[in-house]
Amino acid sequence: MSHRQDLAQGARDVARGSLGLLRQNPLVVVLLGAALVFVWLLGEVAEGEILQLDTLAYQLFVERLRSDALTPIMQAFTSLASVIVLAVMAAVIAALAPGKAPGWCVAVNLVCVVALNTVLKFIVQRPRPGGFRLISESGYSFPSGHSMVAMAFFGLLIWMVWRYHRRDAMRVVWCVCFGIVIAMVGVSRIYLGVHYASDVLAGFCVSLVWLIFYTRVVAPTFVAVDAPREGADV
């Protein structure tokens, strides 16, 4: 076999091994994808650009979909990532969720994400959209704090439900519902005019990377219980 053939065979072996590794570790794919999207958005925003994504989202959610009937619904969704609502939900989780300290698990997650959002906003210092806000907000725009908090909080709930709830249809229903809440909190921030779409997407990406780390390294120490058997109660 020639040297060129050896190199080609080696490249094929590496490619097959890499694909096999990725198939066995789908979270690695998600982590890398989210990190790359965030880095790309950060680079575009750092240059002071209004992305085409931002323009298209504005045209859809602000120019086309805004209405007197839809605005209260969007305000309700955005409130799901507010301090009061999350504090109440955290108290319920602390009282009812399984594990050694589920309340602390949720609290540490939220504190870390809020701190991370504060640092990123201070570094980037992107002004919020102007001229079409339906609610009053202060501070910088990138990345969206509500989007980061929603992904971190409700994403952690998805992880907890999927791992510790009995394996029935309700496990899927709860996960889908929490996923819809995450998406709608992000959409509501664009609709209400307090964030660009790139702020929301960046917030989701950062929290997704954080959540993968947190659920792998930190969360199991707070909620370590045996995974439920088929048909077992929570």
The answer to whether residue 231 is domain-embedded is no
pLDDT at 25: 67
| Cβ neighbours, 10 Å, residue 154 | 24
Joined together, the tokens standing for residue 19 give: 């694909």
Q: For residue 146, tell me if it sits in a domain.
A: yes
Domain that holds residue 179: 3-223
The model's pTM is 0.81
Question: How far apart (Å, rounded) are the C-alpha atoms in residues 234 and 217?
Answer: 23
Share of the chain above pLDDT 70, in %: 84
Domain contains 130: yes
Which range has the worst mean pLDDT, 29-38, 94-103, 193-202? 94-103
52's tokens: 């085409």
Q: Which residues contact 148 (CB under 8 A, 6 or more apart)?
A: 113, 116, 117, 203, 204, 206, 207
Residue 145: its pLDDT value, please? 92
Q: Is residue 134 one of the residues assigned to a domain? A: yes
Confidence of residue 147 (pLDDT cuts 50, 70, 90): very high
How large a percentage of the chain has pLDDT more than 90?
37
Q: Does the residue 228 lie in any domain?
A: no
Residue 80 lies in a domain: yes
Q: Is the pLDDT reported for residue 222 higher than 60?
A: yes
What pLDDT is recorded for position 22? Answer: 52
Residue 233 lies in a domain: no
| Residue 6 banded pLDDT, cuts 50, 70, 90 | very low
Residue 15's pLDDT band (cuts 50, 70, 90): very low
pLDDT value for 16: 53
Which pLDDT band holds residue 224 (cuts at 50, 70, 90)? Answer: low
Show Cβ contacts of residue 162 under 8 Å, excluding neighbours closer than 6 positions: 171, 175
Among the residue ranges 36-45, 96-105, 109-118, 191-200, the one predicted with the least confidence is 96-105
Token output for 178: 């929490």
What's the confidence (pLDDT) of residue 8? 42
Q: How many domains does the chain have?
A: 1
Per the domain annotation, does 229 fall within a domain?
A: no
Lowest mean pLDDT among 29-38, 110-119, 187-196: 29-38
